[in-house]
Structure 1
């Protein structure tokens, strides 16, 4: 699927090869286990093989959750033949959604090859793409681009149930991991790896066609607004390095009147405030834009010297055609 902007195709190189998610699925099934699974299913009572239990689970849901690939494949064939491959359990999850949640990329690929609906959503309106982005599973997202699947939407959302696109989910998930990494105060390799995987999810979604300028329905936030609001300088830096042709439009989009620069100006006490401000301004953020309260970003900066502070000269506001330099005071 082509990306929203042709220039985004080069964004894959923005992460080093050690960070980029590598496809690890696609290994063949164990022939012996597959034959055993066929014998097991053939000897099983028909209703047991196709019915749903009190929680709505089919035997396929159970096999998928346990990671029993060969059994899941045979059960999926049986349910496909009776038109129940996309049966939903009590939380609205199809077997495909369970496979995504359980981080089983090979089973995800198998189900898609058998015709599972990639656009099926649970009771919250989350599709396979939303869940893979939320849990930070870049390999699963790449499986979702499996060439034999039906067309699917990398910026899909349900206005009634789920107002965010998968890209929004990936951005929020990355920010949560970065916040946990920052608050731990330790060198946590597991969290570092998870953060890299979640950034790979952002990258994968963009490479497969997610729309960078897409705004969340309820708040009108783009992924840039979300990253700035959380002080996620790593994600802000990544997003602003994408060679987008209409970068100024992206940077100056409003979310209920606030640009990303307004949000950055409000990051009082955040150690990354000054860097985020500089990054936004370097990519065309307009300091003269006013929000719904008629405030420019400069009006939202913290005032006064509280404790030991470091001052950074930042050009923030325009007055009578002249740029006026003001001082951003950031807690050290």
Structure 2
């Protein structure tokens, strides 16, 4: 049986949508992740709230401004030093919420319904901060703060997916498990990176103790891999749009800022996803994501040449760039990789060099000549260094 809460008649101030604005996005189909956030406005027909009972004890307060992130300092030439958000909690409303929880009998306040949802999941999904805080206190006291609903999401994971940075911060302050994962192995960091939510991501990254930056989901990916894949999806949508799409441009900036934040916090650029050993550079090159490739290759690494020549099942990033037939950024990506130390003489498991994977025709011949010149130049440099020794 689903949990049933006493009904509450909303006043005029409660007519706002309880669903926060959420620009959900998707992974490439191969990674089998949700197309949109199940807690956002795009899922009102079949989403999280629709599985809730129709009568429950509502929290009598207005919804936090869904546009509270409008003043973010977004991506520029360098990562913003600080993203700020939120406001102080209303002490009066918090006390009202605590009294409401105290008046509710124990089973109603703490039990999970047939879908595993607690009252904390409900208030969190609705963005009702003070009610969520009071419910979290109640569940923490009985050891149920990290109760999981039917898809394995704790309230923290719901808060992340619903783009509720203030509630994320509140739950962290109350001791929720920052590394808890859902049925797909996704932690809060994976979800924030996937959906491109820099303010939520900052709340997570600034937590103490810090989250596990190298946690793997069940696809073998770290949050950094998720951020890179998600950015490529948005860039592909942006490039395929006939008109200038401001929303996609903004989302691309937000997702690239998530990549930056993860790297600046210590996420490993050398991490390889488990299924095919791809690094974020392989992932970006494979999708022809020239913006992300450019950003990654500008990172000052003492071992940049080793990074650029890392193999994913035998293929270097240069092999993958050679396979970008018809992509308008193929030549630019090839040149950037070569300037960063990519070796055109490296062979893959089929004994092919990158030049062997180029398309046929005039363009392919021109690119092949470029690779051969660079390969010859590299050999001369090696011979010169050996002579000096």
TM, length-normalised to structure 1: 0.87
Contact 2:204 2:210 in 1 (8 A): no
- Tell me by how many angstroms 1:271 deviates: 0.2
Return the match for 2:145 from 85, 95, 114: 85
User: What CA RMSD, in Å, does the superposition of the two structures yield over aligned residues?
Assistant: 2.1
Query: In the aligned structure 2, how far is the partner of 1:268 from the partner of 1:18?
Result: 32
In the alignment, is residue 274 of structure 1 matched against residue 331 of structure 2? yes
Task: Go from structure 1 to structure 2 and tell me whether the alpha carbon gap of 1:292 and 1:16 turns closer, same or farther (over 3 Å shift).
Answer: same
3-state DSSP class of the match of 2:371?
A: strand
Aligned to 1:229: 286
**Maintained 8 Å contact 1:126/1:162:** no
Deviation at 1:150, TM superposition (A): 2.5
Residue 327 of structure 1 corresponds to none
Per-residue CA deviations over 1:278-299 (Å, capped at 9, x if unaligned) read 0000000011100001111111
Counterpart residue number, 1:264 = 321
Identify the residue that residue 62 of structure 2 maps to in structure 1: none
1:147-226 → structure 2 map (5 Å cutoff): 147=207, 149-158=208-217, 161-226=218-283
CA distance in 1, matches of 2:197, 2:174: 22
Greater alpha carbon shift after TM alignment, 54-63 vs 22-31: 22-31
1:80-120 per-residue CA deviation (whole Å, 9 max, x = no partner) reads 00000000000000000000000000000000000000010
Contact 2:219 / 2:275 at 8 angstroms: preserved in 1? no
What is the Cα deviation at residue 124 of structure 1? 0.3
SS in 2 for 1:84: coil
Q: Which position in structure 2 is the counterpart of 1:54?
A: 114
Structure 1 or 2: more strand by fraction:
1
Higher relative contact order (CA 8 A, sep 6+): 1
Residue aligned with 2:133, SS? helix
Q: Distance in 1 between matches of 2:79 and 2:254?
A: 7
In 2, the alpha carbon distance for the partners of 1:233 and 1:27 equals 38
- Aligned match for 1:36, one of 88, 96, 104: 96
Q: Does 1:96 align with 2:156?
A: yes
Asked if 2 retains the 8 angstrom alpha-carbon contact of 1:264 and 1:273, the reply is: yes
Please give the alpha-carbon distance, in whole angstroms, between the structure 1 residues aligned to 2:249 and 2:79.
11
Shift of 1:18: 8.9
Partner of 2:357: 300
Does residue 254 in structure 1 map to residue 311 in structure 2? yes
CA contact (8 A) 2:79 2:260 kept: no
Which whole-Å CA distance do the structure 1 matches of 2:236 and 2:81 have between them?
22
Q: Which residue of 2 aligns with 1:330?
A: none
In 2, the alpha carbon distance for the partners of 1:19 and 1:206 equals 11
Q: 2:176 aligns with which of 93, 116, 125?
A: 116
Unmatched segments (≥5 aa) in structure 1:
1-14, 324-332
Distance in 1, Cα, partners of 2:337 & 2:78: 28
Residue matched to 1:136: 196
Offset, 1:239? 0.3
1:314 and 2:370 are equivalent in the alignment:
yes
Q: Contact between 1:167 and 1:202, CA under 8 Å: does it hold in 2?
A: yes
Distance in 2, matches of 1:206 and 1:69, equals 30
**Structure 1: how far apart are the matches of 2:168 and 2:205?**
11
* Whole-Å separation in 1 of the counterparts to 2:354 and 2:221: 26
Q: Which runs of 5+ in 2 are unaligned?
A: 1-74, 382-389
1:36 to partner: Cα distance: 1.4
Contact persistence 1:103–1:140 (CA under 8 A): yes
Confirm or deny: 8 A CA contact 1:21 1:200 kept in the other structure.
no
1:311 Cα offset (Å):
4.8
Please give the alpha-carbon distance, in whole angstroms, between the structure 2 residues aligned to 1:21 and 1:176. 26
